[in-house]
Structure formats: structure tokens, C-alpha cells
Chain A
């Protein structure tokens, strides 16, 4: 009984530790030059009063490529919905499920090849 809670406690400890490490580490090594923009609470973007002139010109529309990346991401992200159950039940499913998954991924790869060939993966 106790060792089960021990696992939970260990998990909770690790969960706190992992985000803490990079925060502390970066606090140690980063240069400290606070200004008004840096000390304000982050909320829906920043004001750029203290920034050099050229850096203030960033209030622009997003490039359309950004939207295309997002769409491609959504489509490939959803593929994981099918990959996880398949991977979990892999031993019970056998060869045919492997063939099916290869077909499924093959169709998705054709879509990726299409996006690539059309130049959607190049930012410039």
C-alpha cells in the first residue's frame, strides 16, 4: 500500500523538479538587465517602447505559411489518435494490423510529399 503512494510521491516530486531545473539553471547563467517591457506580466503580447526602432515593426499579419503549417500540423497530430491504440494493442493485433497501419501512414506520407513538393515546408 505504502509503496504505491511512494510511487505517486516520487512522480509528484519529479513533476515539480523537471520544470524547476531549467528555470533555476537559466536564472543562474542569464545576464540580468531588467527594463519595463521585461518586468511587466506577459499578457497577449508586449509593448515595445524600450526596443530599438527596427524591432518595433513587428505588429504585422502572420504570413500565410503559418496557417498552412498549422493545418498540416493538425492533420498529422490527429494521426496519433490511431497510432497509440494500435501500438498498445500491437501484440494482440498481429500482422494484418501492421499492414493496415503501413497503408494508413503511406497515404499520409503521400499528403506530406504533396505539401513538400508544393513548397509549403519552406518558410522563405
Chain B
């Protein structure tokens, strides 16, 4: 029987589970009358989850037979999940109103998706990792294919589903090998086994299973070569879902990857660093080069988000928790993910605002945008500056810490490739800005913004700028969030 402390520490998860089911039930009972209220109920659920997640701050405990941990690292990602939940719910209101009658189901599935993200952040056994990843995946497939009558949405869903099912089977095979060789599902025991046994057969099996686990998580993070689903899925999915997929699963994918590599497989650090360095270079370069040729803004942002995953991976391979350097790699990843969350959600919110008004998602349709919607055009510049990593924006701070960690660890070539890629990315981000500012468009009707979208745009843009101008609280947040259960500081 779990004691009161356990229940207290999993309050955010309980909150979201209850809210998800209440939303479904309310939608069933009062179909027509409850629609506007349901979205606000969802937002309320995320706000309560955010507050209750903060209650667990400072605890460092393993629950449920060591399968589930609540530490500051997990809580950091729970905060990210709740914030992403609030912003995406706000921007999805108008988008869904014209496109589907099943908004209650959408909100319930979305609440469960955020719940799954929180569970991923806390998972500390092979079993919990598998269950929470699959939970998030199924919610994502359903949300991607949510516009049932829309062929593109269906196609996006089946591609996402097939890729996801294959990579999760690969990962599961890796987990079974890991269980067989170490005799436990628990991260602490796995570490102990590999510290004690270091013979060649053990190492070979462990390395194969590490590679398979990286394949499964690489799919969620959209790392090359497991990225092929991303452009099609991002283009076909309802745009608020695309916005969510580009930040949510990616962030918690990194959380699980970090936790597995640092708390279960530290014995193979040199091997996974070598593997992930190669993947990082491929991911950045391929993402950026293909993004240069894109005509559709959603596809462009898809390739951009693949490239961003490559940059974040630089921080992951440079992780070094010894010493008191401000560039531990881990804090770089956390700061980068925090900055990326607001930047990418902001950029997608701009896309959604324009799509709501005009239905257009091609770069050519953005011509003359500055005359029709000067506010959106200006925010686009801020978000794209941040994505490209140009000061004074949050993206610059993130890149600074990630590349700094690479330099500290002596990965000069990797850092140089990262910088070159950032320069390449400026070209395609500014192809959108050029169309919006310097080319004349046919249509000149002004674009109106709904209040919830304006709110989330202002919040995102403000945080992107504040992080750059006054970054100290965010450094501290990242530094505090490095407390991972089972890792000595």
C-alpha cells in the first residue's frame, strides 16, 4: 500500500488522470453545452498539475519498488509538460472549432498525452520506460490522425504509427536483452551488474541493446536515421498537434535518454558517446540541408526541429558531472530544451494564427505578411532569431551552454560543425522572414488574432526575450534540476 508521501509526490499524475477522465465524462453527458467550458477545464487541470509538481521540489525519492522516481530532474520535465499543455490547449481552441466536432475527445487525449510525458520523466525501470513511451506514442498517433476526414491527417497518422511501432519493437528487444544480461529491470541493479561484470560477451550484448534503446528513443526525438516520419507527420497532423509533437515528446525523449544513459549504462559511456556524436552530426547536417529546399512552413519547421535535436545531442554527449564548471552539458541540455519549448511553440503559434485566418501554410502565402499582421510578422522574427541562435534571444543562451560544454570536453570539431550548421539555418529561417517583410503579396486583408492565441504568443515571446536579457533565474533552475536519482552530484 503506498503511503501518504507517495501519493503526495504523484499528485500531478493523479490530477491529470482524473481531469482526463472527467473531461471525457463531462463531454459524454453534456455534449453541446459544455464545449467552451471543457477547454478551460483542461487548462485548469494543467495549472493544478503544474502547481502540484512544484510541491515535490527538493524530494529525491524512488517510489513503487524503485520503478518511479521523483527528483528535481523529473520535476523539471513535468513543468515543461504542463506549460506545453497549457499553451497548446490555448492555441488549439480556434483551430479545432472549424475542423472537428469531437473536441472533448481531443482534449481528453491531449490531457493523457501530457500525463504520459510526466510519467516518462519519472520512469526509472525498463518496464516503466516502455509503458510510458507507448502511452505517449498512442496518444500522439490518435491526435495526429484526429481529423478523420482529412486524407493528409490519416496519412500522417499511419506513417507515424508504422515507424513508431517498428522502433518501439526494436527498443523492446533491446530492453529484453538488457534484462537477460543484467537480471533486473531496475536501473540501479543494471549499473551494479555492469560495474561488476566486464567480460566481452556481456559488453557485446549490452552494446547491442544500448543501440536498440537509442533507436527507440531516437524515433521520439527524431534523430537521423529515425527521422523519416517527422516531415510527413508534421505536415499532415493538425497544426496544434504538430506544435506539441515538436516539443513535448522530444523533450521527454531526451529526459528518458539522459536517465537511461546516465543511471543505467554509465559503464558504456565511451561507446554511447561515440555513437551519439555521429548521430548528432548527421542529424544537424541533414536537418538543415533539407530544410533549405522546403516550400511549406510546417515541413520547414519539421526539418528545423530535427536539426535542433542534433544541437541538443551535442550537450548530451558532452555531459560531465564532475567538477563545478558551469558547462556540465546536462544543464546545457535543460536550458536548451526550456528555450526551445517556448521558441518552437511560439513559431508554430504564429503559423496556426495565419492558418486560422487564411488556411495558408506555404512560404509563398506569407508574402506581404508585415502589412496584414505586423504583430505576427515581428514575433516571427524573434522566434526565428531564437531558433537560429542569434542574440539577444533564448536560443542563443541554449546554444552557448551546449557548445560551451562541447568545448570543455574537447569536442572542438563537433562544436565547429554545430556552429556551421547554425549559420546554414539562418538562410532558411530568413527565407520566411524575407517573404513576410520584403515581398509584396496579393491578399491584403488584415489578419485578426483571437485572445487565447495572442496570450500564448505574448507569453512565449516574452520568455524568449527575458531568458536572454536576464538569464540568471533560468541558470539556477537548470542547475537545481540536475539532481537525478542515483547519480552523485
State if A and B touch, Cβ cutoff 8 Å: yes
Q: Give the segment of A11-19, A30-38, A71-79, A110-118 that binds chain B.
A: A110-118
CB-defined interface of A99-120 with B at 8 Å, one 1/0 digit per residue?
0000000010010011001000
A117 CA to B28 CA in the complex, in Å? Answer: 7
Q: List 12 A-B contacts (CB under 8 A).
A: A94-B1, A95-B1, A96-B1, A107-B21, A110-B21, A110-B24, A110-B25, A113-B25, A113-B28, A114-B24, A114-B28, A117-B28
A95 CA to B2 CA in the complex, in Å? Answer: 12
- Report A61 CB to chain B, min CB distance, Å: 19
Question: Which residue on chain A has the smallest CB distance to residue B21?
Answer: A110
Residues of B within 8 A of A107 (CB): 21
Residues of A within 8 A of B24 (CB): 110, 114
CB-defined interface of B10-47 with A at 8 Å, one 1/0 digit per residue?
00000000000100110010000000000000000000
- Report A84 CB to chain B, min CB distance, Å: 20
Q: Which residues from chain A sit less than 8 Å from chain B, CB to CB?
A: 94-96, 107, 110, 113-114, 117
Q: Interface size (B, Cβ < 8 Å)?
A: 5
Q: Which residues from chain B sit less than 8 Å from chain A, CB to CB?
A: 1, 21, 24-25, 28
Main SS of the interface on chain A?
helix
A117 CA to B21 CA in the complex, in Å? Answer: 15
Which 4 A-B pairs give the minimum distances between C-beta atoms?
A96-B1, A117-B28, A110-B21, A114-B28
Residues of A within 8 A of B21 (CB): 107, 110
- Report A91 CB to chain B, min CB distance, Å: 16
Residues of A within 8 A of B28 (CB): 113-114, 117
Residues of B within 8 A of A110 (CB): 21, 24-25
Question: Which residue on chain B has the smallest CB distance to residue A97?
Answer: B1
Residues of B within 8 A of A114 (CB): 24, 28
A37 CA to B191 CA in the complex, in Å? Answer: 67
Residues of B within 8 A of A94 (CB): 1
Residues of A within 8 A of B1 (CB): 94-96
A106 CA to B418 CA in the complex, in Å? Answer: 51
A96 CA to B64 CA in the complex, in Å? Answer: 14
- Report A100 CB to chain B, min CB distance, Å: 10
A107 CA to B115 CA in the complex, in Å? Answer: 15
A73 CA to B24 CA in the complex, in Å? Answer: 21
A-B contact sample (9 more), CB < 8 A, given A96-B1, A114-B28: A94-B1, A95-B1, A110-B21, A110-B24, A110-B25, A113-B25, A113-B28, A114-B24, A117-B28
- Report A94 CB to chain B, min CB distance, Å: 8
A114 CA to B20 CA in the complex, in Å? Answer: 13
A31 CA to B334 CA in the complex, in Å? Answer: 78
- Report B112 CB to chain A, min CB distance, Å: 11
Residues of A within 8 A of B25 (CB): 110, 113
Residues of B within 8 A of A95 (CB): 1
A68 CA to B184 CA in the complex, in Å? Answer: 39
- Report B19 CB to chain A, min CB distance, Å: 13
A96 CA to B21 CA in the complex, in Å? Answer: 22
A94 CA to B1 CA in the complex, in Å? Answer: 9
- Report B106 CB to chain A, min CB distance, Å: 14
A110 CA to B105 CA in the complex, in Å? Answer: 13
A20 CA to B222 CA in the complex, in Å? Answer: 59
Question: Which residue on chain B has the smallest CB distance to residue A118?
Answer: B28
- Report A15 CB to chain B, min CB distance, Å: 36
Question: Which residue on chain B has the smallest CB distance to residue A96?
Answer: B1
- Report A6 CB to chain B, min CB distance, Å: 42
A110 CA to B21 CA in the complex, in Å? Answer: 8
A113 CA to B25 CA in the complex, in Å? Answer: 9
A117 CA to B105 CA in the complex, in Å? Answer: 13
A79 CA to B396 CA in the complex, in Å? Answer: 50
A110 CA to B1 CA in the complex, in Å? Answer: 25
- Report A103 CB to chain B, min CB distance, Å: 10
Question: Which residue on chain A has the smallest CB distance to residue B108?
Answer: A114
- Report A99 CB to chain B, min CB distance, Å: 9
A95 CA to B24 CA in the complex, in Å? Answer: 29
- Report B127 CB to chain A, min CB distance, Å: 14
Question: Which residue on chain A has the smallest CB distance to residue B22?
Answer: A110
- Report A47 CB to chain B, min CB distance, Å: 36
